[in-house]
Protein backbone atom coordinates (compact mmCIF):
# COMPACT_ATOMS: atom_id res chain seq x y z
CA UNK A 1 0.00 0.00 0.00
CA UNK A 2 1.17 3.53 -0.88
CA UNK A 3 1.95 5.41 2.33
CA UNK A 4 2.60 8.85 0.78
CA UNK A 5 -0.36 11.12 -0.03
CA UNK A 6 -1.65 11.65 -3.56
CA UNK A 7 -1.45 15.46 -3.22
CA UNK A 8 2.27 15.28 -2.58
CA UNK A 9 2.69 13.72 -6.00
CA UNK A 10 1.00 16.48 -8.00
CA UNK A 11 3.31 18.02 -10.60
CA UNK A 12 5.62 20.40 -8.71
CA UNK A 13 7.14 21.87 -11.91
CA UNK A 14 3.70 23.13 -12.95
CA UNK A 15 3.18 24.57 -9.47
CA UNK A 16 6.48 26.45 -9.72
CA UNK A 17 5.33 28.41 -12.77
CA UNK A 18 2.46 29.94 -10.80
CA UNK A 19 4.40 30.43 -7.60
CA UNK A 20 6.91 32.62 -9.42
CA UNK A 21 4.29 35.03 -10.84
CA UNK A 22 4.65 38.63 -9.53
CA UNK A 23 1.92 39.73 -7.11
CA UNK A 24 1.73 43.46 -7.85
CA UNK A 25 2.47 44.80 -4.39
CA UNK A 26 -0.30 42.78 -2.76
CA UNK A 27 0.43 40.66 0.27
CA UNK A 28 -0.93 37.24 1.22
CA UNK A 29 -1.45 36.83 4.94
CA UNK A 30 -2.14 33.38 6.39
CA UNK A 31 -3.92 33.47 9.76
CA UNK A 32 -3.11 30.48 12.00
CA UNK A 33 -4.99 29.39 15.13
CA UNK A 34 -5.35 26.47 17.55
CA UNK A 35 -8.65 24.60 17.15
CA UNK A 36 -11.03 23.15 19.74
CA UNK A 37 -9.00 19.97 20.20
CA UNK A 38 -6.18 22.00 21.75
CA UNK A 39 -3.78 20.22 19.39
CA UNK A 40 -4.96 20.84 15.86
CA UNK A 41 -3.93 23.91 13.88
CA UNK A 42 -6.13 25.67 11.33
CA UNK A 43 -5.29 28.38 8.82
CA UNK A 44 -6.81 30.56 6.12
CA UNK A 45 -5.43 33.25 3.87
CA UNK A 46 -6.48 36.73 2.73
CA UNK A 47 -5.04 39.54 0.62
CA UNK A 48 -3.83 42.84 2.09
CA UNK A 49 -3.13 45.76 -0.25
CA UNK A 50 0.23 46.48 1.35
CA UNK A 51 2.87 44.54 3.19
CA UNK A 52 2.20 44.85 6.95
CA UNK A 53 5.21 46.31 8.76
CA UNK A 54 4.17 45.06 12.19
CA UNK A 55 1.43 43.09 13.89
CA UNK A 56 -0.61 46.30 14.34
CA UNK A 57 -1.03 46.52 10.55
CA UNK A 58 -2.86 43.18 10.41
CA UNK A 59 -6.64 43.44 10.84
CA UNK A 60 -8.72 41.15 13.05
CA UNK A 61 -10.62 38.49 11.14
CA UNK A 62 -13.15 35.77 11.91
CA UNK A 63 -14.03 32.16 11.17
CA UNK A 64 -16.76 29.59 11.68
CA UNK A 65 -16.13 28.08 15.10
CA UNK A 66 -18.74 25.36 14.62
CA UNK A 67 -16.41 23.71 12.10
CA UNK A 68 -13.39 23.68 14.41
CA UNK A 69 -14.97 22.26 17.61
CA UNK A 70 -14.96 25.79 19.05
CA UNK A 71 -18.63 26.77 19.17
CA UNK A 72 -22.21 25.74 18.52
CA UNK A 73 -23.59 26.41 15.02
CA UNK A 74 -26.15 28.92 16.31
CA UNK A 75 -23.49 31.35 17.55
CA UNK A 76 -20.44 30.39 15.61
CA UNK A 77 -18.60 33.57 14.54
CA UNK A 78 -15.24 33.63 16.31
CA UNK A 79 -12.68 36.44 16.31
CA UNK A 80 -9.10 35.96 15.16
CA UNK A 81 -6.82 38.39 16.99
CA UNK A 82 -3.35 38.58 15.38
CA UNK A 83 -0.60 38.30 18.01
CA UNK A 84 2.64 37.38 16.26
CA UNK A 85 3.91 37.81 12.69
CA UNK A 86 6.39 35.68 10.71
CA UNK A 87 7.66 35.54 7.13
CA UNK A 88 5.97 32.89 4.98
CA UNK A 89 8.59 30.34 3.86
CA UNK A 90 6.17 28.69 1.41
CA UNK A 91 4.99 31.66 -0.70
CA UNK A 92 8.01 33.82 0.31
CA UNK A 93 8.36 37.60 0.88
CA UNK A 94 6.39 39.81 1.24
CA UNK A 95 3.82 37.24 2.40
CA UNK A 96 3.21 36.58 6.08
CA UNK A 97 2.11 33.96 8.57
CA UNK A 98 0.29 35.35 11.56
CA UNK A 99 -0.48 33.44 14.73
CA UNK A 100 -3.82 34.41 16.29
CA UNK A 101 -5.64 34.15 19.58
CA UNK A 102 -9.26 33.03 19.34
CA UNK A 103 -12.01 35.04 21.08
CA UNK A 104 -15.67 34.07 21.07
CA UNK A 105 -18.71 36.29 20.28
CA UNK A 106 -18.39 38.19 23.59
CA UNK A 107 -14.66 38.74 22.99
CA UNK A 108 -13.67 36.44 25.84
CA UNK A 109 -11.09 33.67 25.29
CA UNK A 110 -12.60 30.45 23.92
CA UNK A 111 -13.43 27.90 26.59
CA UNK A 112 -15.68 25.61 24.60
CA UNK A 113 -15.29 21.84 24.07
CA UNK A 114 -11.79 22.07 25.47
CA UNK A 115 -10.36 25.21 26.95
CA UNK A 116 -8.03 25.92 24.08
CA UNK A 117 -7.07 29.58 24.43
CA UNK A 118 -4.40 29.15 27.08
CA UNK A 119 -2.49 32.10 25.66
CA UNK A 120 -4.64 34.79 27.24
CA UNK A 121 -4.00 33.64 30.82
CA UNK A 122 -0.37 32.69 30.07
CA UNK A 123 0.24 36.24 28.89
CA UNK A 124 -1.13 37.68 32.13
CA UNK A 125 1.25 35.52 34.15
CA UNK A 126 4.25 36.35 31.96
CA UNK A 127 3.55 40.06 32.39
CA UNK A 128 3.43 39.61 36.14
CA UNK A 129 6.80 37.83 36.27
CA UNK A 130 8.52 40.11 33.75
CA UNK A 131 11.13 41.31 36.27
CA UNK A 132 12.55 37.74 36.54
CA UNK A 133 13.32 37.58 32.79
CA UNK A 134 12.18 33.93 32.60
CA UNK A 135 13.53 32.02 29.60
CA UNK A 136 12.22 28.75 28.20
CA UNK A 137 13.58 26.29 25.66
CA UNK A 138 11.34 23.42 24.55
CA UNK A 139 12.44 20.19 22.87
CA UNK A 140 9.66 19.09 20.55
CA UNK A 141 9.77 15.36 19.82
CA UNK A 142 7.53 13.98 17.07
CA UNK A 143 7.04 10.90 14.93
CA UNK A 144 6.65 10.72 11.17
CA UNK A 145 3.79 8.54 9.96
CA UNK A 146 2.77 7.44 6.49
CA UNK A 147 -0.83 8.16 5.44
CA UNK A 148 -1.47 4.56 6.57
CA UNK A 149 -0.86 5.85 10.17
CA UNK A 150 2.12 3.52 10.59
CA UNK A 151 5.59 5.01 11.31
CA UNK A 152 7.17 6.24 8.10
CA UNK A 153 9.65 3.79 6.60
CA UNK A 154 8.84 0.90 8.95
CA UNK A 155 8.36 -2.46 7.22
CA UNK A 156 4.66 -3.06 6.51
CA UNK A 157 4.68 -6.43 8.21
CA UNK A 158 6.80 -6.19 11.33
CA UNK A 159 9.29 -3.90 12.96
CA UNK A 160 12.67 -2.32 12.30
CA UNK A 161 15.73 -3.53 14.24
CA UNK A 162 15.56 -2.65 17.97
CA UNK A 163 16.44 0.81 19.28
CA UNK A 164 20.14 1.60 19.52
CA UNK A 165 21.55 2.94 16.26
CA UNK A 166 18.90 5.59 15.54
CA UNK A 167 19.49 8.42 18.07
CA UNK A 168 21.55 11.06 16.20
CA UNK A 169 22.12 8.36 13.57
CA UNK A 170 23.21 8.67 9.95
CA UNK A 171 22.72 6.41 6.96
CA UNK A 172 19.75 5.00 5.08
CA UNK A 173 19.32 2.18 7.60
CA UNK A 174 19.24 4.60 10.59
CA UNK A 175 17.66 7.92 9.54
CA UNK A 176 14.06 7.81 8.31
CA UNK A 177 12.78 10.98 6.62
CA UNK A 178 15.62 13.47 7.11
CA UNK A 179 14.40 15.58 4.15
CA UNK A 180 11.52 16.73 6.31
CA UNK A 181 13.76 17.66 9.23
CA UNK A 182 16.12 19.71 7.07
CA UNK A 183 13.34 21.49 5.18
CA UNK A 184 11.53 22.30 8.42
CA UNK A 185 14.73 23.73 9.92
CA UNK A 186 15.24 26.05 6.93
CA UNK A 187 11.58 27.04 6.97
CA UNK A 188 11.86 28.03 10.66
CA UNK A 189 14.96 30.14 10.04
CA UNK A 190 13.36 31.89 7.07
CA UNK A 191 10.13 32.53 8.98
CA UNK A 192 11.92 34.00 11.99
CA UNK A 193 11.12 31.18 14.41
CA UNK A 194 13.78 30.94 17.14
CA UNK A 195 14.79 27.34 16.35
CA UNK A 196 17.77 26.14 18.40
CA UNK A 197 18.60 22.80 16.80
CA UNK A 198 17.44 19.37 15.76
CA UNK A 199 18.35 15.68 16.11
CA UNK A 200 17.19 12.18 15.24
CA UNK A 201 15.57 10.38 18.20
CA UNK A 202 15.86 6.93 19.77
CA UNK A 203 12.93 5.37 17.88
CA UNK A 204 13.32 5.21 14.09
CA UNK A 205 11.13 7.88 12.35
CA UNK A 206 11.15 9.90 15.56
CA UNK A 207 12.86 13.30 15.53
CA UNK A 208 13.25 16.37 17.69
CA UNK A 209 13.65 20.07 17.17
CA UNK A 210 14.28 22.61 19.91
CA UNK A 211 12.96 26.16 20.14
CA UNK A 212 14.48 28.79 22.41
CA UNK A 213 15.66 30.27 24.55
CA UNK A 214 12.53 32.43 24.40
CA UNK A 215 11.40 34.90 27.04
CA UNK A 216 7.89 34.59 28.50
CA UNK A 217 4.98 34.39 26.08
CA UNK A 218 7.34 34.07 23.06
CA UNK A 219 7.92 30.41 23.96
CA UNK A 220 4.36 29.38 23.17
CA UNK A 221 4.12 31.64 20.13
CA UNK A 222 7.30 30.33 18.53
CA UNK A 223 6.63 26.66 19.32
CA UNK A 224 3.11 26.76 17.91
CA UNK A 225 4.36 28.36 14.68
CA UNK A 226 7.22 25.83 14.49
CA UNK A 227 4.60 23.06 14.78
CA UNK A 228 2.53 24.65 12.01
CA UNK A 229 5.61 24.77 9.77
CA UNK A 230 6.32 21.10 10.50
CA UNK A 231 2.80 19.99 9.57
CA UNK A 232 2.94 22.12 6.43
CA UNK A 233 6.34 20.76 5.34
CA UNK A 234 5.12 17.20 6.00
CA UNK A 235 2.08 17.90 3.83
CA UNK A 236 4.39 18.78 0.91
CA UNK A 237 6.14 15.44 1.34
CA UNK A 238 2.89 13.53 1.76
CA UNK A 239 3.55 12.26 5.29
CA UNK A 240 2.12 13.12 8.71
CA UNK A 241 3.82 14.34 11.89
CA UNK A 242 2.18 13.13 15.07
CA UNK A 243 2.78 14.58 18.54
CA UNK A 244 1.24 11.53 20.21
CA UNK A 245 3.33 10.92 23.35
CA UNK A 246 3.50 7.15 22.79
CA UNK A 247 2.83 6.34 19.15
CA UNK A 248 4.08 2.74 19.34
CA UNK A 249 3.41 0.42 22.26
CA UNK A 250 6.17 -1.85 23.47
CA UNK A 251 9.90 -1.35 23.57
CA UNK A 252 9.86 1.96 21.70
CA UNK A 253 10.53 5.40 23.19
CA UNK A 254 7.67 7.85 23.58
CA UNK A 255 7.70 11.51 22.61
CA UNK A 256 7.99 14.37 25.06
CA UNK A 257 8.42 18.10 25.07
CA UNK A 258 11.17 18.68 27.65
CA UNK A 259 10.93 22.22 28.94
CA UNK A 260 14.12 24.02 29.95
CA UNK A 261 13.76 26.96 32.31
CA UNK A 262 15.87 29.74 33.77
CA UNK A 263 15.41 33.12 35.41
CA UNK A 264 17.98 35.89 35.48
CA UNK A 265 18.89 34.85 39.05
CA UNK A 266 19.52 31.26 37.95
CA UNK A 267 21.71 32.35 35.04
CA UNK A 268 23.95 34.51 37.22
CA UNK A 269 26.86 33.46 39.48
CA UNK A 270 25.63 31.11 42.24
CA UNK A 271 22.29 30.65 40.47
CA UNK A 272 22.06 26.98 41.46
CA UNK A 273 20.38 27.91 44.75
CA UNK A 274 17.50 29.52 42.81
CA UNK A 275 17.23 26.41 40.64
CA UNK A 276 17.00 24.27 43.79
CA UNK A 277 14.30 26.55 45.24
CA UNK A 278 12.27 26.26 42.02
CA UNK A 279 12.58 22.45 42.04
CA UNK A 280 11.42 22.33 45.66
CA UNK A 281 8.27 24.28 44.71
CA UNK A 282 7.64 22.11 41.65
CA UNK A 283 7.81 18.98 43.80
CA UNK A 284 4.93 20.21 45.95
CA UNK A 285 2.61 20.62 42.97
CA UNK A 286 3.52 17.56 40.86
CA UNK A 287 -0.06 16.38 40.31
CA UNK A 288 -1.30 19.82 39.27
CA UNK A 289 1.47 20.04 36.71
CA UNK A 290 0.81 16.57 35.29
CA UNK A 291 -2.80 17.67 34.68
CA UNK A 292 -1.70 20.47 32.34
CA UNK A 293 1.25 18.71 30.69
CA UNK A 294 -0.95 17.11 28.03
CA UNK A 295 -4.33 18.16 26.58
CA UNK A 296 -6.27 15.43 28.43
CA UNK A 297 -5.33 16.01 32.04
CA UNK A 298 -2.59 13.37 32.11
CA UNK A 299 -4.48 10.67 30.21
CA UNK A 300 -2.08 10.86 27.24
CA UNK A 301 1.10 11.20 29.25
CA UNK A 302 0.27 8.15 31.38
CA UNK A 303 1.16 5.96 28.38
CA UNK A 304 4.57 7.65 28.18
CA UNK A 305 5.70 8.38 31.77
CA UNK A 306 6.23 4.76 32.77
CA UNK A 307 9.59 5.03 34.51
CA UNK A 308 11.18 3.26 31.53
CA UNK A 309 12.57 4.57 28.22
CA UNK A 310 14.29 7.60 29.80
CA UNK A 311 11.18 8.74 31.68
CA UNK A 312 10.13 9.06 35.30
CA UNK A 313 6.92 7.49 36.62
CA UNK A 314 3.85 9.74 36.31
CA UNK A 315 3.13 9.12 40.01
CA UNK A 316 6.47 10.30 41.43
CA UNK A 317 8.42 13.50 41.51
CA UNK A 318 12.21 13.32 41.38
CA UNK A 319 15.15 15.54 40.48
CA UNK A 320 18.81 14.90 39.76
CA UNK A 321 21.95 16.10 38.06
CA UNK A 322 22.35 14.50 34.61
CA UNK A 323 19.57 12.00 35.44
CA UNK A 324 17.32 11.31 32.45
CA UNK A 325 15.10 9.03 34.53
CA UNK A 326 13.93 11.87 36.80
CA UNK A 327 11.12 14.41 36.47
CA UNK A 328 13.57 17.30 36.63
CA UNK A 329 17.12 17.12 35.34
CA UNK A 330 19.89 19.57 36.13
CA UNK A 331 22.28 19.38 33.16
CA UNK A 332 25.77 18.22 34.20
CA UNK A 333 27.38 21.48 33.12
CA UNK A 334 24.89 23.47 35.22
CA UNK A 335 25.78 21.33 38.24
CA UNK A 336 29.46 22.06 37.67
CA UNK A 337 29.17 25.79 37.00
CA UNK A 338 26.54 26.20 39.72
CA UNK A 339 24.38 28.36 37.45
CA UNK A 340 22.25 28.02 34.35
CA UNK A 341 18.89 26.28 33.90
CA UNK A 342 16.90 23.15 34.72
CA UNK A 343 14.90 20.77 32.54
CA UNK A 344 11.34 19.63 33.27
CA UNK A 345 11.13 16.30 31.43
CA UNK A 346 7.44 15.65 32.16
CA UNK A 347 5.50 17.58 29.46
CA UNK A 348 4.12 15.35 26.69
CA UNK A 349 4.89 16.00 23.02
CA UNK A 350 1.29 17.17 22.49
CA UNK A 351 1.28 19.62 25.40
CA UNK A 352 0.16 23.21 24.98
CA UNK A 353 3.34 25.27 25.58
CA UNK A 354 1.22 28.16 26.92
CA UNK A 355 -0.26 25.89 29.62
CA UNK A 356 3.15 24.39 30.49
CA UNK A 357 5.10 27.65 30.70
CA UNK A 358 2.26 29.31 32.61
CA UNK A 359 2.19 26.52 35.23
CA UNK A 360 5.96 26.65 35.69
CA UNK A 361 6.04 30.44 36.02
CA UNK A 362 3.15 30.43 38.52
CA UNK A 363 4.62 27.67 40.68
CA UNK A 364 8.19 28.96 40.69
CA UNK A 365 7.67 32.73 40.80
CA UNK A 366 4.30 33.75 42.24
CA UNK A 367 3.13 33.70 45.84
CA UNK A 368 -0.44 32.74 46.83
CA UNK A 369 -1.84 36.29 46.73
CA UNK A 370 -0.30 37.08 43.35
CA UNK A 371 -1.65 33.79 42.01
CA UNK A 372 -5.18 34.59 43.16
CA UNK A 373 -5.02 38.03 41.53
CA UNK A 374 -4.62 36.55 38.05
CA UNK A 375 -7.45 34.02 38.41
P1 LIG B 1 18.95 17.77 25.85
O2 LIG B 1 20.37 17.57 26.27
O3 LIG B 1 18.02 17.68 27.02
O4 LIG B 1 18.53 16.88 24.72
P5 LIG B 1 18.72 19.95 23.89
O6 LIG B 1 20.07 20.32 23.38
O7 LIG B 1 17.87 19.11 23.02
O8 LIG B 1 18.89 19.32 25.37
O9 LIG B 1 17.89 21.27 24.19
C10 LIG B 1 18.34 22.28 25.03
C11 LIG B 1 17.25 23.32 25.19
O12 LIG B 1 17.60 24.18 26.27
C13 LIG B 1 17.01 24.23 23.99
O14 LIG B 1 15.63 24.34 23.71
C15 LIG B 1 17.55 25.58 24.45
O16 LIG B 1 16.83 26.65 23.87
C17 LIG B 1 17.30 25.50 25.94
N18 LIG B 1 18.15 26.39 26.75
C19 LIG B 1 19.49 26.60 26.67
N20 LIG B 1 19.89 27.50 27.59
C21 LIG B 1 18.78 27.86 28.31
C22 LIG B 1 18.53 28.74 29.40
N23 LIG B 1 19.52 29.45 30.00
N24 LIG B 1 17.27 28.87 29.86
C25 LIG B 1 16.28 28.16 29.30
N26 LIG B 1 16.45 27.30 28.26
C27 LIG B 1 17.67 27.15 27.77
MN1 LIG C 1 17.01 17.16 23.33
MN1 LIG D 1 14.91 14.07 22.96
MN1 LIG E 1 15.97 17.00 27.02
CATH of the domain at 175: 3.30.590.10
Give the pLDDT confidence score for residue 223 in this predicted structure.
98
Ligand 1 within 6 A of 139 CB?
yes
- Same-domain pairing of 81 and 145: no
Residue 122 lies in a domain: no
- How many percent of the chain have pLDDT more than 70? 98
User: How far, in Å, is the centroid of ligand 2 from the Cα of 102?
Assistant: 31
If you compute the radius of gyration of the chain from its CA atoms, what whole number of angstroms results? Answer: 21
Report the domain count for the chain: 2
- Same-domain pairing of 139 and 185: yes
Ligand 1 within 6 A of 262 CB?
yes
- Same-domain pairing of 86 and 213: no
Q: Label residue 22 by pLDDT band (50, 70, 90).
A: very high
Residue ending a domain, choose from 58, 89, 116: 116
Residue ending a domain, choose from 91, 116, 141: 116
Residue 292 lies in a domain: yes
Closest ligand to C-alpha of residue 202 is 3
Q: Please check the confidence at residue 149 and state whether its pLDDT lies above 80.
A: yes
Give the model confidence (pLDDT) of 173-203 as tens digits.
999 999 999 999 999 999 999 999 999 999 9
> Domain range holding 338?
127-374
- Same-domain pairing of 305 and 163: yes
Residue ending a domain, choose from 87, 116, 145: 116
- Same-domain pairing of 278 and 346: yes
Q: Please check the confidence at residue 45 and state whether its pLDDT lies above 80.
A: yes
Residue 1 lies in a domain: no
Ligand 1 within 6 A of 213 CB?
yes
- What is the position in ligand 1's atom list of the atom closest to the CA of 199? 7
Residue 59 lies in a domain: yes
Give the model confidence (pLDDT) of 265-304 as tens digits.
999 999 999 999 999 999 999 999 999 999 999 999 999 9
CATH of the domain at 65: 3.10.20.70
- Same-domain pairing of 135 and 39: no
- What is the position in ligand 1's atom list of the atom closest to the CA of 196? 16
Amino acid sequence: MESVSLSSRLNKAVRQQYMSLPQDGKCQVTYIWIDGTGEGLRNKTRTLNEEPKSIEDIPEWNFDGSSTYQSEGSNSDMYLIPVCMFRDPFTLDPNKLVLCEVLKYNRLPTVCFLETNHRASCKKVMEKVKEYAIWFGMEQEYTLLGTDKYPFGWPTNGYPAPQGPYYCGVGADNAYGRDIVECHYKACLYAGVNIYGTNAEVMPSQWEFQVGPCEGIDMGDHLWVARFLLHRVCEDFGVVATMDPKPMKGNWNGAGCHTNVSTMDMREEGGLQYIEQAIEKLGKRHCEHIKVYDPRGGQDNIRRLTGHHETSSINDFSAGVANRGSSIRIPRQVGQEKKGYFEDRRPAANCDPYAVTKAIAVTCLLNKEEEEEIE
